[in-house]
Structure 1
């Protein structure tokens, strides 16, 4: 058996970012934290922690971190079922992509919080990276573009978000007078959400079948991103409702080339009333909002 105290110590170090901060959170000395971690590593024969700033779990440590959070969740749910005061504030950490947060998922989060009383710790990340947070044990569930279940998790298709290359009428007339050609795409300014956003690049390759590098702006905010397109800063992939919200200002550059991004719900594969309630609300909302 792995001592619960050891798991709690590992979790505190990762959550707080350092041994000193974990010691303060646990009300023990830094030496005690270090000794607990060393004893656990020796017991398992594995290095569990990368002592960087902030401290990070190794792959072996991620397995134990996930176990620690699962045990914590189940304990809190059990206390809640018994009606004990200590159970107030069951927390669910969830990784969700920006476009889902900005569009369809917030009502689902509100409903589950109202229905169950859980507290939600939402981490915003790109849909291609949210599953990594699940694998690392830092979240309990994720909206992700990854279909393959993370080890110890289950995965279900939520639906697809449809993106369309969009720009203002004036921008399209200026930069694409002869249509959306490879030559025009190579020089027309494009807007990315951040350096990890590859939607525009995927569209470019689908049209040109080659690697091109047009001028790029980066606007890391869902509402600001759409506003930047609407103001003519560049072209970008927008969702249907974002395009339809400004029919007199925005046009679709290539109606025959929409880009579909499948979204999956992945969560820990354990019996948890809180997680299952969240999953039910997310699937219901997705069925109404996604294709």
Structure 2
């Protein structure tokens, strides 16, 4: 193999016209500079440096120096290409639909550094996003799971509040005053985002210690559609408070039980990669999201 340390020592001596200055620049001893050039000459079997001032390369030495210049040019081009590719790198995030269509995009737009990446947002149930990170499908995710994976960091972002709501027309049609809220909920239709959505089931188990009838639901895989179907009286639903502030204020939707809101903890998980730009971007996102979610 070519001894590039020897070629660099040769080039530095010729450039600076001084062995001691060459040693200082290379951060080695003067004898080490001499030894590197001698070792290089030994490997090629002939002198490479004319050892009288001004120092010059021999014919073969000049061939090696020209080769070194091409190597340096190629390295510069390589680093430039790497930087270009870095700028084109894809930043994949796994999140749930509610976060995407309520607070997440406003947070991302507020961080100009995201524009240096090609952003890819993958939507999945909040209980499953961590699987995508573990399988290296994404670089970061939002999850309700606080457990930190090996090779990853995590940060608590805040709590996402869901409220139990329906339209006044729906309540008049399905809810009987002589029955408990639990029984009324069990016997009336409700809305689910998709078949993976377990929020309603988890909510009922935690708040009322019961299980919903899975056949008594409307599947609406759209955050906007979910809200509109609730407004139209198709069923009761758990909806992020942040998404229905106006609807609650003007009475189009009513909260069925104000003491039984669901506060979902959200965590940002991301790989421990050495890239400073990636690490900085994660920290910026965490800070912005915590403010957006009113972390206390």
TM-score of the superposed pair, with normalisation by structure 1: 0.67
Residue 246 of structure 2: aligned partner: 245
Deviation track 1:88-107 (CA, whole Å, cap 9, x = no partner) reads 41211111111111111112
Q: CA deviation at 1:195?
A: 1.2
Give secondary structure in 2 for the equivalent of 1:150. coil
Query: Cα distance 1:152–1:201, how it changes in 2: closer, same or farther (>3 A)?
Result: same
Whether the 8 Å CA contact 1:109–1:278 is kept in 2: the answer is no
What residue in structure 2 maps to residue 162 of structure 1? 161
- Equivalenced residues, count: 213
Deviations 1:21-40 (A, max 9, x none): xxxxxxxxxxxxxxxxxxxx
1:208 maps to what in 2?
208
Alignment-derived partner of residue 186 in structure 1: 186
CA contact (8 A) 2:162 2:263 kept: yes
Please list, as runs of the form range in 1=range in 2, the aligned pairs for 1:1-291 lying within 5 A after superposition: 79=79, 84-114=83-113, 117-178=116-177, 180-213=180-213, 215-247=216-248, 248-291=251-294
Task: Give SS of 1:224's match.
Answer: helix
Task: Flag the 1:96–1:275 CA change in 2: closer, same or farther, 3 A.
Answer: farther
**Counterpart position of 1:35:** none
Ranges in structure 2 where 5+ consecutive residues have no aligned partner? 1-77
Matches of 1:113 and 1:120, distance apart in 2? 12
Matches of 2:293 and 2:246, distance apart in 1: 17
Counterpart in 2 of 1:3?
Answer: none
Structure showing greater Rg: 2
SS at match of 2:125: coil
- Structure 1: segments with no counterpart, 5+ residues: 1-77
Per the alignment, do residues 97 and 175 of structure 1 end up closer, same or farther by CA in structure 2, a change over 3 Å counting?
A: same
Change (3 A) 1:128 1:257: same
Please say if residues 96 and 122 of structure 1, whose CA atoms lie closer than 8 Å, have aligned partners that are also in contact: yes
Task: Provide the secondary structure at the position in 2 that maps to 1:245.
Answer: helix
Indicate how the Cα distance of structure 1 residues 164 and 244 shifts in structure 2: closer, same or farther if over 3 A, else same.
Answer: same
